[in-house]
């Protein structure tokens, strides 16, 4: 396998559609209200993709250094775990990706606010730096919050609230509290993707000392938590539509939840963690599909 293929594998391209779901939803809400800018849209996509790749590299590095990625792990082998990429190479890739992502974030902030609205620009610059730090600190370092059951909070905040509501504000420069509902929905779905991953790895993570929320809750309660994430996301989108819908087109995103209903049935009956691995793709792609259908419904 070539070195390029190794890096493509480490970037985990299958996670990228999930990362842009929030940008699609936030942009469609803004466009529905008459706000849209192709430069902001392009730079927002580039920034969130950079954050996702950085998070994937950092996750590979952090779990590899700590020995969490071992023979007990159920999912596909990571780059460091398999020896395809060295610790030094991965650390260099993390630095480069962080720098590129920061540059994209600066360009995005300038495209939105220019030099006149310096206070808003400063707030978003701080958010951008916090996002980069959070992407790295998930599994890297002695205080990695992913090892203390706080990964779900990060995913909810940055891939939900910041991605959706933040992108909406970059276009509109105004607050719309109703737009928090789709932001919460995408945040809950993103947390559900992480929760499937953590349910799959619950036993080996506990052995390796990685205390995720799934480890804390245990097998029965983490399934109840998963139900709350999926059904909660549906509820918040319905609340948004109840306040903003203009016709039935606005509800076509409901079709995207059909695979998730069957997914929940499989999860509640599951007693073999290996069978949860394909469920990751189902939740991630369903989230991406819901975001596309939501945007089509608003803009059709």
pLDDT of residue 14: 79
Beta carbons within 10 angstroms of residue 205's beta carbon: 22
pLDDT of residue 8: 80
pLDDT of 275-295, one tens digit each?
888 898 999 999 999 999 999
Q: Do residues 196 and 155 make contact, with C-beta atoms less than 8 angstroms apart?
A: no
82 has a pLDDT exceeding 80: no
Residue closest to 56 by CA, chosen among 23, 21, 18, 22: 18
Q: How confident is the model at residue 28 (pLDDT cuts 50, 70, 90)?
A: very high
pLDDT of 194-203, one tens digit each?
999 899 988 8
> Residue 220, class by beta-carbon neighbours within 10 Å (0-12 exposed, 13-18 middle, 19+ buried)?
exposed
pLDDT of residue 48: 94
Q: How confident is the model at residue 88 (pLDDT cuts 50, 70, 90)?
A: confident
pLDDT of residue 190: 95
pLDDT of 219-278, one tens digit each?
899 999 999 999 999 999 999 999 987 888 889 999 999 999 999 999 989 888 888 888
How many angstroms separate the CA atoms of 118 and 113, rounded? 7
Chain-centroid distance of CA 170 in Å reads: 19
**CA dihedral sign, ordered 213, 218, 221, 223:** positive
Q: Pick the more confident residue, 66 or 152.
A: 152
How many angstroms separate the CA atoms of 161 and 275, rounded? 31
pLDDT of residue 116: 86
pLDDT of residue 36: 93
73 has a pLDDT exceeding 60: no
Q: How confident is the model at residue 74 (pLDDT cuts 50, 70, 90)?
A: low
Q: Pick the more confident residue, 47 or 61.
A: 47
Annotated domain spans of the chain: 10-299
Round the average pLDDT of the chain to a whole number and report it: 89
Q: Do residues 125 and 109 make contact, with C-beta atoms less than 8 angstroms apart?
A: yes
Q: How confident is the model at residue 188 (pLDDT cuts 50, 70, 90)?
A: very high
DSSP conformational letter for 139: T
> Residue 269, class by beta-carbon neighbours within 10 Å (0-12 exposed, 13-18 middle, 19+ buried)?
exposed
Full-model pTM: 0.91
Q: Do residues 195 and 229 make contact, with C-beta atoms less than 8 angstroms apart?
A: yes
Residue 84 structure tokens: 């395809």
Residue 163 structure tokens: 């991605």
70 has a pLDDT exceeding 60: no
- Sequence-distant (6+) residues with CB within 8 A of 99 are none
Contacts 24+ apart (CB under 8 A), 32-41: 32/298, 32/299, 33/172, 33/176, 35/171, 35/172, 36/171, 37/111, 37/112, 37/171, 39/111, 40/108, 40/111, 40/112, 40/167, 40/170, 40/171
6 has a pLDDT exceeding 70: yes
101 has a pLDDT exceeding 70: yes
Q: Region 136-145: what's the mean pLDDT?
A: 82
Region at 75 (left for phi over 0; alpha for psi -120 to 50; beta for the rest): beta
- Give the burial string for 278-297 (b: 16+ CB within 10 Å, else e): ebbebbbbbbbbbbbbbbeb
């Amino acid at each position: 396998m070539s070195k390029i293929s190794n890096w493509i594998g480490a970037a985990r391209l299958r996670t990228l559609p999930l990362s842009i779901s929030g940008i699609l939803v936030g942009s469609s809400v803004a466009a529905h209200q008459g706000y849209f800018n192709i430069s902001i849209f392009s730079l927002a996509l580039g920034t969130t993709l950079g954050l996702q790749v950085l998070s994937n590299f950092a996750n590979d590095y952090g779990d590899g250094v700590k020995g969490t990625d071992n023979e007990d792990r159920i999912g596909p082998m990571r780059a460091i775990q398999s020896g395809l990429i060295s610790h030094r190479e991965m650390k260099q890739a993390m630095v480069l990706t962080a720098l590129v992502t920061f540059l994209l974030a600066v360009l995005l902030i300038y495209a939105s606010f220019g030099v006149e609205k310096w206070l808003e620009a400063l707030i978003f610059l701080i958010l951008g730096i916090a996002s980069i730090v959070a992407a790295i600190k998930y599994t890297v370092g002695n205080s990695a919050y992913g090892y203390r059951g706080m990964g779900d909070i990060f995913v909810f905040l940055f891939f939900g609230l910041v991605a959706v509501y933040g992108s909406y504000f970059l276009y509109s420069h105004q607050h719309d509290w109703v737009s928090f509902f789709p932001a919460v929905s995408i945040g809950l779905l993103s947390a559900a993707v992480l929760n499937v991953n953590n349910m799959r790895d619950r036993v080996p993570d506990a052995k390796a000392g990685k205390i995720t929320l799934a480890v804390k809750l245990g097998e029965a309660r983490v399934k109840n938590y998963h139900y709350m994430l999926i059904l909660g996301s549906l509820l918040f989108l319905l609340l948004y539509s109840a306040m903003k819908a203009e016709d039935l087109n606005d509800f076509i995103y409901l079709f995207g939840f059909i695979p998730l209903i069957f997914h929940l049935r499989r999860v509640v009956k599951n007693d073999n963690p290996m069978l949860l691995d394909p469920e990751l793709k189902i939740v991630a792609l369903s989230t991406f599909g819901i975001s596309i259908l939501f945007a089509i419904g608003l803009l059709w």
